[in-house]
Amino acid sequence: MRFLFENNVLDGNLRELTCGGTAIPLQPQVFDLLLYLVAERARVVSKDDLISQIWSDRIVSDSALNSRINAARKALGDDGATQRLIKTIPRKGFRFVGEVREDVAAKPIPAEVAPGSPRVAADRPGIAVLAFENMSGDPAQEYFGDGISEDILTALSKQRWFIVIARNSSFTYKGRAVHIKQIAEELGVRYIVEGSVRKVDNRVRITAQLNDATTGGHLWAERYDRELVDVFAVQDEITERIVAAIEPQIHAAENFRTHRKPPSSLDAWDLLMQALSHYWRITPQDHAAAQKLLERAIAIDPDYGQALAVLAASHMFGVHLGWAELATTAPIAESAALAAMRCDHENAWAHAALGSVCFSTSRLADALSEFEQALALNPNFSLAQGYYALALSYAGRPSDSFEAAQKAIRLSPRDPSLAIYYGIAGYARFTERRYDEAIALAREAIRHRGDLTGAYRVLAVSAGMTGDGALADMALGELRRTQPNISLHWIATQLPWANDADREHYLEGFRRAGLR
């Protein structure tokens, strides 16, 4: 549809405003606002109408709204004083009052989809990150929202779970009121990340949400308020938190989707998603179930690097928590991790899995190198960060270990492995002879999960060293429940210390706690 008024033509199909045949440049959002006002010229359009239509019901400041209205007026040679075309109705809203003629323009013939157009791959869902909207009313602040969006896009691109649409495609919707289902269809994605940035003085509020485009529902949303002492530091922190939150939400949504499919139709991706849902429950039974599902996925696709990497990591998880025997499990895990590396040497999970094998087989230098490589590939990978912290502690670097464990906790504050990260931080403090802090961290780990071995080990040795017999008895009792094979011999032979002194310190804590 084309709208003709005065010497102007507003073409909705071409998304173009011309005056006397000359194109008038407009920001996409200003164009959408003008088009909506002209199309609804028979009535007063309220502020709520504009927020719903143009901003999809997101919170919008009055200054941001007024700046768009003023930009539309300026493009038409109008202003707030004369209000020749766009009239403000006090306490009611706005109305386009110019005389308009409608002209139905010929619809452009849809172009065939080019071979290179983005589409969801069979084994991975797609995700698009839209430009975060500047709600500050100050065009000079556009860079901050764009920077947040680009950083999220870059961080997500480092993961191997899903296809991330390039900036040049996803940013074409900037400033346009387009429904997420339309965006998803045009870009070939299942998930859309969108958000907004509002800066007032030296404070900034950033909102972000993850949408499932197939259902139109929100999977996750969060708001962050920060002081802008260091713009880049704030940008980095918010990006880190958003990306760490998005990945598990997509896993959960994909797992839910796969459970609604007939078992006979499950492909390798579906099996991987179901395996991950078991993986993160962190029980011996769930990891056994995960391994069976992963083996089925690999049988379908022997070169499925992600499934191979998770299989290796799952086997080693059992070793770390005392569920599986190192001698029989490590060769299986190492073979799967190396196969994953051959499939994709830039897969962070493959490096983390191989690092965990090296850790348990007393190759600490190699383990640290693999974990560092995993984090270089994906800095927001909380599991690799936790493994790295563990390896640092056994390498005799407790201070670095504590800092790495704290970062793992910050990266994923709702992580199912949070209890493990607190336990690692506690062990680092134990190594530094800071027993009270170690006990506090072990208690925090147990508060999150009371059925994992690591926290009870730290609690037992710390209580032993402080002479708290009652606490030591309780911790040892729970440890024997969660790891029946625990013994001084197991500790001395199965855990990979670089320093004999650290091993002896740990053993002494257990002796004083009463372990024989």
Task: Report the CATH number that the domain containing residue 65 is assigned in CATH.
Answer: 1.10.10.10
Choose one of 351, 379, 407: the last residue of a domain. Answer: 379
Q: Per-residue pLDDT averaged across 198-221, rounded?
A: 86
CATH of the domain at 226: 3.40.50.10610
Q: Domain of residue 141: give its range.
A: 126-259
Q: Per-residue pLDDT averaged across 259-272, rounded?
A: 81
Instruction: Tell me, yes or no, whether 84 and 134 share the same domain.
Output: no
Taking CA atoms, 466 is separated from 10, 299, 459, 471, in Å, by 79, 52, 11, 10
User: Which of 19-28, 59-68, 420-429 has the lowest average pLDDT?
Assistant: 59-68
Q: Is residue 114 part of a domain?
A: no
Q: Is residue 113 part of a domain?
A: no
Q: Per-residue pLDDT averaged across 282-293, rounded?
A: 93
Instruction: Tell me, yes or no, whether 93 and 208 share the same domain.
Output: no
**Better pLDDT: 250 or 298:** 298
* pLDDT grade for 346, boundaries at 50, 70 and 90: confident
Judged against a pLDDT cut of 60, whether residue 416 lies above it is answered with yes
- 373 in Cβ contact with 337 (< 8 Å): no
CATH of the domain at 510: 1.25.40.10
Contacts of 164 (CB under 8 A, 6+ apart): 126, 127, 128, 129, 153, 156, 157
Q: Is residue 388 part of a domain?
A: no
Calpha distance 8→306 (Å, rounded)? 56
Instruction: Tell me, yes or no, whether 330 and 354 share the same domain.
Output: yes
Q: Is residue 199 part of a domain?
A: yes
* pLDDT grade for 227, boundaries at 50, 70 and 90: confident
Instruction: Tell me, yes or no, whether 350 and 407 share the same domain.
Output: no
What is the rounded average pLDDT for all residues in the chain? 86
Instruction: Tell me, yes or no, whether 184 and 135 share the same domain.
Output: yes
- 378 in Cβ contact with 159 (< 8 Å): yes
Q: What is the pLDDT of residue 115?
A: 35
Work out how many domains the chain is built from and give that number.
4
Question: In this structure, how many other beta carbons lie within 10 angstroms of the beta carbon of residue 512?
Answer: 18
Instruction: Tell me, yes or no, whether 269 and 240 share the same domain.
Output: no
- 469 in Cβ contact with 335 (< 8 Å): no
Q: What is the pLDDT of residue 91?
A: 86
Instruction: Tell me, yes or no, whether 229 and 332 share the same domain.
Output: no
Choose one of 200, 229, 259: the last residue of a domain. Answer: 259
Q: Is residue 246 part of a domain?
A: yes
pLDDT in tens, 77-122: 898 888 999 999 988 899 999 999 887 544 433 333 333 333 333 4
Q: What percent of the chain has pLDDT over 90?
A: 42
Q: Which residues make beta-bridge pairs with 133?
A: 196
Q: Is residue 52 part of a domain?
A: yes
Instruction: Tell me, yes or no, whether 99 and 16 share the same domain.
Output: yes
- Helix, coil or strand: residue 439: helix
Q: Per-residue pLDDT averaged across 433-439, rounded?
A: 97
The burial of 349, by beta-carbon neighbours within 10 Å (0-12 exposed, 13-18 middle, 19 or more buried), is given as buried
Judged against a pLDDT cut of 80, whether residue 452 lies above it is answered with yes
**Better pLDDT: 310 or 265:** 310
- 119 in Cβ contact with 188 (< 8 Å): yes
Q: Per-residue pLDDT averaged across 190-199, rounded?
A: 90
Q: Is residue 152 part of a domain?
A: yes
Calpha distance 145→136 (Å, rounded)? 10
Judged against a pLDDT cut of 80, whether residue 402 lies above it is answered with yes
Q: What is the pLDDT of residue 107?
A: 40
Q: Is residue 459 part of a domain?
A: yes
Instruction: Tell me, yes or no, whether 95 and 44 share the same domain.
Output: yes
**Better pLDDT: 375 or 168:** 375
Instruction: Tell me, yes or no, whether 347 and 366 share the same domain.
Output: yes
> What six digits make up the tokens of 165?
């649409």
Contacts of 274 (CB under 8 A, 6+ apart): 255, 258, 259, 266, 293
Choose one of 379, 406, 424: the last residue of a domain. Answer: 379
**Better pLDDT: 112 or 340:** 340
User: Which of 48-62, 270-284, 414-428 has the lowest average pLDDT?
Assistant: 48-62
pLDDT in tens, 134-187: 887 777 677 778 888 888 888 888 777 778 887 777 888 887 888 888 888 888
Name which of 360, 422, 418 is nearest 391 in CA terms.
360
Question: In this structure, how many other beta carbons lie within 10 angstroms of the beta carbon of residue 482?
Answer: 18
Instruction: Tell me, yes or no, whether 151 and 165 share the same domain.
Output: yes
**Helix 453-466 with 418-431: angle, nearest 10 deg:** 30
* pLDDT grade for 123, boundaries at 50, 70 and 90: low
Judged against a pLDDT cut of 60, whether residue 38 lies above it is answered with yes
> What six digits make up the tokens of 171?
């940013």
Instruction: Tell me, yes or no, whether 241 and 271 share the same domain.
Output: no
